[in-house]
Amino acid sequence: MSETVFQRYLSLVDDQGAFLAACERPLPLVVWANPLAMDPAVVEAALFSAFPDAEPVSWRPHTWRLPPEAKVGNWPMHVVGGLYVQEEAAAFAGDVVDAQPGERILDLCAAPGGKTAQMAIAMGDRGTIVANDRRIGRLASLRRTVGRLGLTSVTVTCHDGIRFPQETLFDRVLVDAPCTCEGTARKSGRRSRNPDERYRNTVVQIQKALLRRALSVTKPGGRVVYSTCTFAPEENEYVLDAIDPSLASIEPIAPMGLTVAPGLCEWRGRYLRPDIRHAARVWPHQNDTGGFFVACLRRL
């Protein structure tokens, strides 16, 4: 009998009961304020007025957890870009990029644009972010995010990330790669579905190609952040292991207050490069979030 999504990873988690229980609970709704659009204090006041049980996210400024059933989509404040709904673990991945004002950043798989927006705001909307997605059908959501949040530093492109042109080199590149999305089970209710191995085998090749391309368009000394919302080591640590160590090193991620587990250096008898331990696994039960994987690479 093939494994379910969660049984496959029970040997990796520190508290199996807590992991399974967290995966059964609805995911909190997390929002952050956009200071380019309005004063975060105004956003906070409105949130607490509507949701007295709202909680600030301790590790991230101007970010709040709302009840899972909260609806803010038609709030004027949301419509005009004053706040953005984003899963907390996903926000962690965007913050690891650590975008700085004036830099050139590439978001290789950008749609719908949440991490693009994070980076633009971190830069004070000064500099260049190229927000790319290969799928024309996803460009509308990306353009809507850019417009709604008022981002003037963002250039939207539609190109196959695996073949992204190398004329421009970037200070930092984010590869938020397509994946099997096992970490979104709390959101999508995919708790008992078995992983599709054929799709996984296909997507792993895409992930490796995207990461290689990302490194090829990064300046020496620049940073590449690789992230997925899945638990599968094949799509996370194995992808990192496929990178030539002379091309990039995997660096520690500065603590941000979110509890993370280290990347795996061994899985089912296969041993991987030791610096993969610097990657971060976000397990749902550790912070009451979805699942995520983030690695920070330095282009050598």
Partner 1 sequence: MIREGSSLRASVAFEPYPDQEIVPNWCFFWLGLDRSVFENSVFVHRPGSPAIWVASNQVHLIDTPLPETVGLLVMRKPPPKGKPTSVFLQRFADGATKNVYTLDAEDAERFLRRDPVQIVPVDDARSYCVVRTADFVLGCGRVNGNTLVSEVPRSWMSS
Q: Which span (2-10, 15-23, 147-155, 222-230) binds partner 1, by CB under 8 A?
A: 147-155
Q: Which residues contact 271 (CB under 8 A, 6 or more apart)?
A: 265
Q: Which residues contact 40 (CB under 8 A, 6 or more apart)?
A: 33, 61, 62
Q: Measured from the CB of residue 74, what is the shortest distance to partner 1 in angstroms?
A: 6
List residues bridging with 152 in a β-sheet.
none
Q: Does 139 bind partner 1 (CB under 8 A)?
A: yes
Query: Of the candidates 13, 130, 204, 260, which one interacts with partner 1 according to CB under 8 A?
Result: 130
Cα–Cα nearest to 172, from 238, 123, 233: 123
Q: Which residues contact 207 (CB under 8 A, 6 or more apart)?
A: 175, 177, 178, 179, 228, 235, 239
Q: Does 174 bind partner 1 (CB under 8 A)?
A: no
Q: Does 185 bind partner 1 (CB under 8 A)?
A: no
Q: Measured from the CB of residue 129, what is the shortest distance to partner 1 in angstroms?
A: 9
> Is 296 one of the catalytic residues?
no
Q: Does 217 bind partner 1 (CB under 8 A)?
A: no
> Which residue number, 2 or 152, has a Cβ lying nearer to partner 1?
152
Q: Which span (154-162, 221-229, 272-280, 288-296) binds partner 1, by CB under 8 A?
A: 154-162
Query: Of the candidates 40, 94, 113, 127, which one interacts with partner 1 according to CB under 8 A?
Result: 127
Q: Does 39 bind partner 1 (CB under 8 A)?
A: yes
User: According to CB under 8 A, which residues from 41 to 100 bind partner 1?
Assistant: 42, 73-74, 76-77, 79-82
Query: Of the candidates 147, 189, 257, 262, which one interacts with partner 1 according to CB under 8 A?
Result: 147
- The contact set with partner 1 (CB under 8 A) reads 36-39, 42, 73-74, 76-77, 79-82, 101-102, 104, 125-128, 130, 132, 136, 139-140, 143-144, 146-148, 150-159, 164-165, 167-168
The set of catalytic residues is 229
